[in-house]
């Protein structure tokens, strides 16, 4: 049965779009039929991160308003046959989205896909509400930093009260994904700890993605990091998170710094 | 100076870890915010009711009623600031 997954956070710039692309590609690599849907009307970026920015003809609003068919708006990924993108509109106003229209599009996508991944805009307004509205599961992308944790808490509250599932007495299955984790800063006690974040948010952990050049490089070239450099630390962390999403039990690896000889010597002296 | 600095910096105490402070601040804040969630905005409610009571006796400008709340660790304070224009009819003894 198809699953609708929202990638959300409240706060901007934490890595929602990067995570949507990376996990979407990893699910497709695992043989699932996947569509990633950009809900950030007016500020679309998922097309750019996926490397499909020059292939956008129709978008989500066209489909919602009936000016284009779903099959015309879906962009099939050039690397993975079973991965497609439904882009957001760049020019239209987000008020053009109606709950009823989104519900229809999601229902259509459910009929032909295994996973529908909704990339939420930042904030807690209409766009973010609509992105989570029909979700079965949610990934709350959180940076180890106070403002991000606070916003995640707020979003968790909304997932528990404002989604269709919540209103019908069911639960949205929630997962926290910690991104831009810096092991060196965490070791020095400068970064709020993973255990503290999980305790505060009272939500299970899906994965820990380290801050990395590989993530930046992947978005520069328009390829999800899980496809662009699959052996890199962030790509492996995303792959593990994806396997957990599919129900596998995978040991949680806290990314650590690769230590050189000098580093070890200095570390020993300081101890 | 730079040479001394180089050596002395080694002996300098490590900076105090700020992560535990972040954790504590978040726990206090979120406990409060979760309590308010789903309720109507408390300050708006207070403002409206105070306005209704006071304007029964004094003519006032609704925009000049300010209700502020400051949260402390143990006690919170509620500050109500009502500006009553001079020269307006203030029927102080008009009750009854």
pLDDT (0 to 100) of residue A185: 87
> In this structure, what DSSP letter does residue B64 have?
G
Taking only residues 30 to 89 of chain B, the set having a beta carbon closer than 8 angstroms to any beta carbon of chain A reads 30, 33-34, 37-38
Using an 8 Å CB-CB cutoff, list chain B residues near A188: 14-15, 17
Stretch B71-86: mean pLDDT, rounded? Answer: 79
pLDDT (0 to 100) of residue B95: 46
Segment A105-133, tens digit of pLDDT: 999 999 999 999 999 999 999 999 999 99
User: DSSP 3-state assignment of A76?
Assistant: strand
pLDDT (0 to 100) of residue B11: 55
Top-confidence residue, B58 or A56:
A56
pLDDT at B2 over 70: no
Is the CB of A146 less than 8 angstroms away from the CB of B25? yes
Task: Decide if A135 contacts A6 (C-beta within 8 A).
Answer: yes
By C-alpha distance, which of A149, A151, A155, A167 is closest to A131?
A155
Across A63-67, A175-179, A190-194, A259-263, the highest mean pLDDT is recorded for A175-179
Q: Which of B11, B17, B28, B30 to mutate to test the interface with A (most CBs of A within 10 A)?
A: B30
pLDDT (0 to 100) of residue A94: 65
Stretch B51-75: mean pLDDT, rounded? Answer: 80
Q: Where are the beta strands (DSSP E) in chain A?
A: 3-8, 34-38, 75-76, 83-86, 115-119, 137-142, 173-181, 205-210
Task: Decide if A175 contacts A139 (C-beta within 8 A).
Answer: yes
Residue A217 CA to residue A212 CA, distance in Å, equals 9
Give the 3-state secondary structure of B5-48.
Answer: HHHHHHHCCCCCCCHHHHHHHHHHHHHHHHHHCCCCCHHHHHHH
Task: Decide if A180 contacts A14 (C-beta within 8 A).
Answer: yes
Is the CB of B33 less than 8 angstroms away from the CB of A153? yes
pLDDT at B32 over 70: yes
Top-confidence residue, A38 or B88:
A38
Task: Decide if A20 contacts A209 (C-beta within 8 A).
Answer: no
Task: Decide if A117 contacts A38 (C-beta within 8 A).
Answer: no
Is the CB of A189 less than 8 angstroms away from the CB of B20? yes
Provide φ and ψ at A193, rounded to 5°. Answer: -70, 155
Q: Which tokens belong to B20?
A: 């535990």
Top-confidence residue, B45 or A49:
A49
pLDDT (0 to 100) of residue A268: 46
The number of CA neighbours under 13 Å toward the Cβ of A39 is: 32
CA distance B92 to chain A (A): 46
pLDDT (0 to 100) of residue B21: 87
Predicted ipTM of the assembly = 0.73
Segment A80-112, tens digit of pLDDT: 999 999 999 887 776 788 999 999 999 999 999
Q: What is the pTM of this model?
A: 0.79
User: A228-256: string of b/e by CB count within 10 Å (b at 16+)?
Assistant: bbeebbbbbbbbbbbbbbeeeeeeeeebe
B96 band by pLDDT with thresholds 50, 70 and 90: very low
pLDDT at A168 over 90: yes
Top-confidence residue, A19 or A256:
A19
- Range scoring the smallest mean pLDDT among A154-168, A182-196, A234-248: A182-196
pLDDT at A50 over 70: yes
Judged by a CB distance cut-off of 8 A, whether residue B29 touches chain A is yes
């Amino acid at each position: 049965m198809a699953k609708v997954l929202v990638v959300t956070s409240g706060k901007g710039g934490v890595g929602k779009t990067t995570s949507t692309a990376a996990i979407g590609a990893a699910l497709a690599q695992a043989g699932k039929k996947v569509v990633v849907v950009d809900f950030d009307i007016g500020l679309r970026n998922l097309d750019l991160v996926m490397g499909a920015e020059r292939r956008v003809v129709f978008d989500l609003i066209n489909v919602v308003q009936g000016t284009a068919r779903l099959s015309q708006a879906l962009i099939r990924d050039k690397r993975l046959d079973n991965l497609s993108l439904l882009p957001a509109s760049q020019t239209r106003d987000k008020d053009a989205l109606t709950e009823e229209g989104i519900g229809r599009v999601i229902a259509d996508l459910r009929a032909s896909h295994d996973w529908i991944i909704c990339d939420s805009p930042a904030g807690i307004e209409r766009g973010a509400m609509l992105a989570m509205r029909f979700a079965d599961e949610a990934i709350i992308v959180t940076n180890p930093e106070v403002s991000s944790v606070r916003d995640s808490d707020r979003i968790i509250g909304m997932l528990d009260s404002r989604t269709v599932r919540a209103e019908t007495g069911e639960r949205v299955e929630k997962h926290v994904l910690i991104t831009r984790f810096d092991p060196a800063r965490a070791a020095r006690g400068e970064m709020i700890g993973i255990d503290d974040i999980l305790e505060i948010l009272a939500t299970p952990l899906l994965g820990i993605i380290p801050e990395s050049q590989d993530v930046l490089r992947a978005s520069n070239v328009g390829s999800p990091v899980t496809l662009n450099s699959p052996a890199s630390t962030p790509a492996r962390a995303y792959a593990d998170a994806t396997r957990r999403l599919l129900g596998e039990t995978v040991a949680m690896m806290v990314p650590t710094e690769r230590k050189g000889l000098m580093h070890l010597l200095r570390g020993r002296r300081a101890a | 100076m730079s040479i001394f600095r180089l050596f002395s910096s080694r002996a300098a105490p490590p900076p105090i870890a700020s992560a535990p402070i972040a954790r504590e601040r978040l726990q206090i804040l979120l406990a409060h915010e979760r309590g308010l969630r789903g309720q109507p905005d408390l300050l708006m409610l207070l403002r409206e009711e105070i306005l209704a009571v006071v304007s029964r006796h004094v003519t006032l400008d609704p925009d000049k009623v300010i209700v502020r709340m400051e949260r402390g660790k143990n006690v919170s304070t509620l500050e109500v600031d009502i500006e009553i224009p001079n020269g307006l009819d203030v029927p102080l003894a008009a009750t009854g």
